[in-house]
Homo-oligomer: A and B are copies of this chain.
């Protein structure tokens, strides 16, 4: 492959001039510009990105940190994010962590090694104190509430959303309410737990830890939850399920076993994924697509130096009433 020097020689100009043509700078005479363009065409020349990145210190890539690349939740986030990235000629480096701390750290390192201009954290395993130092190397945006101004944050108000779900069920007469969640140690989980306990107080119901099911991420997890439920003496009459995939599993299994939805068990899902529409599942839409979009924009504003102030953006949620409550 030809390099810039060969093009310069062929066009009988300096490499500086070739570089100017390449970058669309002004102040190049028409004839030289044409000679350069012709030489590039002849040689089938393309500039080496790595050299450009090295010289400029920018890559036009943003690392997207997520645990799995095959889950609809992250898909929705990714969709919005990519839509916005495309507009700004940015491209996304997929950083799949499987929630392994070491893998995640490896991706954070990419910010230090200049492989990406910034990072968008869809979900992460490492605690903030481990992540914060990396913010010095480039903008980091997270799709969750972050108590540190160095990190941009675009998020659902999980406490409010969960509380609304609880009150919605309570208003429909439910007193015995349980919930399903992915991981218990995340920021959103803490908020939801708080909303859960507060809502129980409102209706004067005791906290039942055994009605909190964790590890609910995919369809099959929902199936397991329902099977567990069936083995309980004392069962909830309603379930808040943080994730439509898992909620769909609960619902599908219920139908299979002949348990009436919402008659015997009411279900509220989260995310408003296509699957919830298919199953007529009542769900809380967090506008994940929009969160992804805004997270990219938050990163971009800092990367383009347009903005130095910390970003804190709450995305409103919406309860979609369908047929599972």
Q: A residues within 8 Å of B by Cβ?
A: 1, 46-51, 53-54, 59, 61, 64, 68-72, 75-76, 78-79, 82, 86, 91-96, 98, 103, 109-110, 112-115, 137, 218-219, 245, 248-249, 251-252, 274-275, 277-280, 289
Is A114 a contact partner of B50 (Cβ separation < 8 A)? yes
Contacts of A49 in B (CB 8 A): 110, 113-115
Contacts of A95 in B (CB 8 A): 91
Is A50 a contact partner of B46 (Cβ separation < 8 A)? no
CA distance A96 to B64 in the complex (A): 14
CA distance A70 to B73 in the complex (A): 10
Is A279 a contact partner of B277 (Cβ separation < 8 A)? no
CA distance A50 to B53 in the complex (A): 6
With A49-B114, A93-B94 already in contact, the answer to whether A278 and B277 are too (CB < 8 A) is no
In the assembled complex, how far is the CB of residue A71 from the closest CB belonging to chain B, in whole angstroms?
Answer: 8
A-B contact pairs, 9 of them (CB 8 A): A46-B109, A46-B112, A49-B114, A69-B82, A70-B79, A75-B75, A82-B96, A219-B278, A252-B280
Is A245 a contact partner of B218 (Cβ separation < 8 A)? no
| Nearest CB in chain B to that of A116: its residue | B49
In the assembled complex, how far is the CB of residue A15 from the closest CB belonging to chain B, in whole angstroms?
Answer: 16
In the assembled complex, how far is the CB of residue A139 from the closest CB belonging to chain B, in whole angstroms?
Answer: 16
Contacts of A59 in B (CB 8 A): 50
In the assembled complex, how far is the CB of residue A133 from the closest CB belonging to chain B, in whole angstroms?
Answer: 9
With A50-B114, A93-B92, A219-B278 already in contact, the answer to whether A75 and B79 are too (CB < 8 A) is no
In the assembled complex, how far is the CB of residue A225 from the closest CB belonging to chain B, in whole angstroms?
Answer: 14
In the assembled complex, how far is the CB of residue A179 from the closest CB belonging to chain B, in whole angstroms?
Answer: 20
In the assembled complex, how far is the CB of residue A109 from the closest CB belonging to chain B, in whole angstroms?
Answer: 6
| Nearest CB in chain B to that of A256: its residue | B280
CA distance A82 to B114 in the complex (A): 22
Residue in A54, A91, A98, A278 whose Cβ sees the most chain B Cβ within 10 Å: A278
Contacts of A47 in B (CB 8 A): 113
Residue in A78, A115, A289 whose Cβ sees the most chain B Cβ within 10 Å: A115
| Nearest CB in chain B to that of A113: its residue | B49
Is B92 a contact partner of A94 (Cβ separation < 8 A)? yes
CA distance A314 to B78 in the complex (A): 30
Is B274 a contact partner of A274 (Cβ separation < 8 A)? no
CA distance A277 to B256 in the complex (A): 12
Residue in A48, A79, A274 whose Cβ sees the most chain B Cβ within 10 Å: A274
In the assembled complex, how far is the CB of residue A266 from the closest CB belonging to chain B, in whole angstroms?
Answer: 18
Residue in A49, A53, A277, A279 whose Cβ sees the most chain B Cβ within 10 Å: A49
Contacts of A274 in B (CB 8 A): 218-219, 245, 248, 275
CA distance A49 to B249 in the complex (A): 44
13 further contact pairs, Cβ within 8 A, besides A49-B115, A50-B115:
A1-B112, A47-B113, A48-B54, A49-B110, A49-B114, A51-B54, A72-B72, A82-B94, A86-B96, A92-B94, A219-B274, A251-B278, A278-B278
Contacts of A76 in B (CB 8 A): 70
CA distance A284 to B310 in the complex (A): 49
CA distance A51 to B103 in the complex (A): 23
